Chain A
Amino acid sequence: MRSWYKILSVILILYTLVWGLLGNVPRLDILNETIRNVFYHVPIWFAMLFMMTVSLIYSLKTLGSNSLHHDSKAYDAAWIGFFFSIPGITTGSLWAKYTWGTWWTFQDPKLNGVAISILIYTAYFILRSSVEDEQKKAKISAVYNVFAFVMMNVFIMILPRLTDSLHPGNGGNPAFAKYDMDNGMRMVFYPAVIGWILFSFWLFEIKNRISILKNKLND
């Protein structure tokens, strides 16, 4: 089995769980120790974006091949991505409470963009469940998924950079340099991103294997 990436993901995440709390971080006002959330909150979003990209790829493949297998993979990836957005948004809200002073602010385009994106993907799931015919469902939801992916990128990657945002790296020149990270933090942050992306792929694989079993039982 291709289990090397699962082992790698567990090692990377364990390393970041331990070293993210033990390592030195820059001393900054307001943020204080919460700067460590960069190791946990941000990689969750990277995993979500990665899964939505996987979903997009399988949707495009569905359009090219009309294969129901690809459609089911697109659905599973979107499902895992959606799943990751929930801890992403709740941890972000908690972090915002203690640094920006509020659970939710409509001043920040990234927060609202994420909320809209979650609604867009909710519509994807509702759309899927409303079409009876399998082939039709595959095609319609693949087309919608391409639209959903583009809209999500407009809302969480582009718009926050055009206007002012409370999120670092937005509102102007986007770069990791703006995360106030030093090299010590990068040594934890990048492995965390890779680790969680691999972990999300593991969850996606499990979800997909269940889907395949389900389809076989239905036949």
Chain B
Amino acid sequence: MTKQLLSFLFLLISAIANAQSLEPQMADTFRQEGKIYVVITVIAMIFVALVVFLVILERKLKSFENKIKN
């Protein structure tokens, strides 16, 4: 009886384990290590750099506009 019960238990465990592996894969381990922040910071820094470029460009434009006005 105990043997049968044990084998049923193992079957159940393996079924549960299988069901878990069927769940859609996401970047869980990637996030667990925490280093996703580095990537996000890099992306943000690149965007900020582009914005700074735009601001400088606008200042240049402003000076040209003033020159033409005078």
Binding site for B on A (CB under 8 A): 10, 13-14, 17-18, 21-22, 27-29, 31-33, 202-203, 206, 209-210, 212-213, 216-217
Contact = CB atoms under 8 A, between A and B. Distances in A.
B65 A32 contact: no
Interface in B26-48: 26-27, 36, 39-40, 43-44, 47-48
Contacts of B43: 17, 21
A62 B54 CA distance: 29
B53 to A, nearest CB: 11
A210 B64 CA distance: 10
B68 A213 contact: yes
A206 B40 contact: no
Interface of B: 23-27, 36, 39-40, 43-44, 47-48, 51, 54, 57-58, 61, 64-65, 68
Contact of A32 (B26, B36, B54): B26
Nearest to A14: B44
Given A17-B44, A32-B24, A203-B54, 19 more contacts: A10-B51, A13-B47, A14-B44, A14-B47, A17-B43, A17-B47, A22-B36, A27-B23, A28-B24, A29-B24, A32-B25, A33-B27, A206-B54, A206-B58, A206-B61, A212-B65, A213-B64, A216-B68, A217-B68
A202 B58 CA distance: 10
A14 B52 CA distance: 13
A27 B26 contact: yes
Contacts of A209: 61, 65
Contacts of A21: 36, 39-40, 43
A210 B27 CA distance: 44
Contacts of A10: 51
B40 A213 contact: no
A25 to B, nearest CB: 8
Contacts of A202: 54
B64 A33 contact: no
11 contacts: A13-B47, A17-B40, A17-B44, A21-B40, A21-B43, A22-B40, A27-B24, A28-B24, A212-B65, A213-B61, A217-B68
A203 B47 CA distance: 14
A33 B51 contact: no
Contacts of A33: 26-27
B10 to A, nearest CB: 28
Query: What are the nearest 4 A-B pairs in CB distance?
Result: A27-B24, A29-B24, A33-B27, A209-B61
B64 to A, nearest CB: 6
A71 B5 CA distance: 83
